[in-house]
């Protein structure tokens, strides 16, 4: 049974690309006309006494224990202990949107949703899958990719998880992506893909030409009458180390490419602003012909996914990010950290360019936190174990043929030694 409020939202979205892409859960979700919405009304008009929200309030201010205040002396009680709004701090959402535009000039003057704040990018991806993926609506991703994609799409949402080989002949595999997307479009009438640049685990970002090729594929499918959802996981956005990388998000290219395309951007401070444990991420939607009312309905559907799982994100993290984004020094400090990562990248690049291995072949990499090796013996796990036991070095085995190194977490003075050990252990396990 679909709730009447869900039916209302579905009615607003009827005939749109969103409506055609919804999973069964996407259709069912609704935001109750209950505590949150009545509390919102009271926040505006209950000037005498507001008895709506379950917090302890004195003279209009939530109480805050001194034991908390000590750790957050610069925050008022609302910034520290009060509940956050379901979709996040409105001011922070606005600032993040402005930042998305300044980082992606192609978006200037274009219409897209206000970003919704969620507890980390994982939550963003998970809610997108809740809304758009199920047993009859598969998700496509690269092979290799971040292991959480399959956990979310397949185990959590019971969807088929389709893979295209990320690289072919040392290049991003455009034709593999095209083949998978067109096959799904043909078979299911719509297609969903998650693309992640800079990529985890390879550390690859596409060139401008490759981005244009991806856009061509998406447009061709859309023009054939099929609906296309492209979820850009921009977790590592901006960490580019080579000049030929397209610096803007794929989302900026896809947001108004065709009315049959729903472009979704997942991003956030986690990796970009070096705030891994804050658990703040954002989700932003765009499609060529969505009306204002449809953007609102889609945002409400998304907030229903938040409300029905974690209710809202943590307040102190949002307050810290707000203060940081308003701090002149923030960008400067980020720049220094990015330069440090670039120095590590340069050292790794120099090592792999000057050393040959009969076992290891670096996958294309030019950005982000990681690089990976293709292990032609299929003994990535054996290499990982030896590195740990003999050299006290930790790396990740993604699959038997892929070994990932997070150079982002290895000090510059250790990089040569770490890579020498990796090459050495690869030979030993031959
Ligand atoms: C590609 C990718 N997307 C998303 C995430 C998750 O980010 P968060 O920690 O904000 O949930 C990660 C984290 O490792 C990642 O590698």
Ligand 1 atom at shortest distance from the alpha carbon of 270: 10
Note the helical H segments in 308-430. 315-325, 328-354, 380-391, 412-428
Smallest CA separation from ligand 1 atom 3, residue:
235
DSSP 211-237: HHHHHHHHHHHHHTT-EEEEEEE-TTT
At 340-370, the pLDDT tens digits run 999 999 999 999 999 999 999 999 999 999 9
Mutational test site, ligand 1, from 115, 151, 200, max ligand atoms within 8 Å of CB? 200
Same domain (yes/no): 10, 109: yes
Instruction: For 195, list phi and psi in degrees, rounded to 5.
Output: -120, 135
CATH number reported for the structural domain that contains residue 416 in this entry: 3.90.1150.10
Q: Is the pTM of this model over 0.75?
A: yes
Structure tokens at 218: 């998406």
Note if the bond before 59 is cis, omega within 30 degrees.
no
Paired with 264 in beta bridges are 231, 285
Mutational test site, ligand 1, from 88, 122, 197, max ligand atoms within 8 Å of CB? 122
Smallest CA separation from ligand 1 atom 12, residue:
235
| Residue-level pLDDT at 319 | 98
At 29-87, the pLDDT tens digits run 999 987 877 888 888 899 899 899 899 999 989 999 999 999 999 999 999 999 999 99
At 204-228, the pLDDT tens digits run 999 999 999 999 999 999 999 999 9
Smallest CA separation from ligand 1 atom 2, residue:
235
Task: Count the domains in the chain.
Answer: 2
At 37-53, the pLDDT tens digits run 788 888 889 989 989 98
| Residue-level pLDDT at 161 | 98
Q: Which domain holds residue 165?
A: 4-31+86-325
* Residues of the chain above pLDDT 90, percent: 95
What's the rounded Cα separation, in Å, for the pair 115 and 267?
Answer: 9
Same domain (yes/no): 125, 189: yes
CB-based pocket (< 6 A), ligand 1 = 120-122, 146, 196, 200, 233, 235, 268, 270, 281
Within a domain: 392: yes
At 364-379, the pLDDT tens digits run 999 999 999 999 999 9
Ligand 1 atom at shortest distance from the alpha carbon of 125: 4
Within a domain: 91: yes
User: How many CA atoms does the CB half-sphere of 24 hold within 13 Å?
Assistant: 7
Out of 268, 301, 325, a domain closes at: 325
Same domain (yes/no): 287, 339: no
What's the rounded Cα separation, in Å, for the pair 316 and 74?
Answer: 11
- 184 Cβ neighbours under 8 A, 6+ residues apart: 138, 140, 162, 190, 191, 192
At 226-276, the pLDDT tens digits run 999 999 999 999 999 999 999 999 999 999 999 999 999 999 999 999 999
């Amino acid at each position: 049974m679909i709730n009447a409020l869900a039916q209302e939202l579905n009615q607003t979205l009827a005939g749109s690309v969103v409506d055609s892409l919804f999973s069964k859960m996407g259709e069912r979700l609704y935001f109750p006309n209950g505590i949150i919405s009545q509390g919102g009304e009271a926040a505006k008009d209950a000037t005498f006494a507001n008895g709506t929200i379950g917090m302890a309030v004195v003279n209009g201010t939530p109480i805050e224990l001194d034991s908390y205040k000590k750790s957050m002396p610069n925050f008022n009680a609302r910034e520290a202990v009060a509940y956050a709004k379901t979709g996040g701090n409105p001011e922070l959402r606005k600032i993040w949107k402005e930042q998305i535009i300044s980082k992606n000039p192609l978006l200037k003057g274009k219409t897209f949703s206000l970003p919704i704040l969620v507890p980390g990018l994982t939550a963003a991806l998970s809610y997108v899958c809740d809304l758009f993926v199920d047993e009859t609506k598969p998700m496509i991703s690269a092979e290799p990719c971040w292991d959480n994609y399959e956990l979310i799409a397949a185990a959590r949402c019971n969807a088929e998880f389709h893979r295209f080989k990320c690289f072919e002949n040392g290049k991003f595999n455009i034709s593999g992506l095209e083949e998978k997307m067109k096959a799904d479009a043909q078979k299911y009438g719509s297609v969903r893909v998650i693309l992640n640049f800079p990529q985890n685990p390879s550390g690859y970002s596409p060139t401008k030409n490759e981005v244009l090729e991806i856009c061509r594929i998406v447009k061709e499918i859309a023009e054939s009458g099929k609906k296309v959802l492209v979820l850009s996981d921009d977790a590592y956005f901006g960490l580019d180390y080579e000049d030929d990388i397209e610096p803007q998000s794929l989302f900026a290219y896809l947001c108004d490419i065709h009315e049959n395309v729903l472009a979704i951007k997942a991003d956030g401070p986690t990796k970009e602003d070096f705030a891994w444990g804050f658990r703040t991420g954002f989700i932003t939607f765009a499609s060529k012909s969505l009306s204002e009312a449809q953007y609102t309905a889609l945002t409400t559907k998304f907030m229903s996914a938040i409300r029905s799982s974690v209710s809202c994100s943590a307040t102190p993290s949002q307050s810290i990010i707000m203060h940081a984004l308003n701090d002149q020094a923030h960008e400067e400090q980020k720049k220094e950290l990015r330069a440090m990562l670039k120095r590590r990248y340069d050292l790794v690049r120099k090592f792999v360019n000057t050393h040959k291995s009969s076992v290891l072949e670096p996958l294309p990499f030019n950005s982000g936190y990681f690089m990976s090796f293709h292990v032609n013996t299929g003994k990535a796990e054996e290499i990982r174990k030896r590195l740990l036991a003999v050299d006290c070095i930790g790396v990740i085995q993604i699959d038997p043929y892929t070994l990932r190194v997070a150079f982002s977490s290895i000090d510059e003075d250790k990089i040569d030694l770490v890579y020498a050990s990796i090459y050495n252990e690869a030979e030993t396990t031959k």
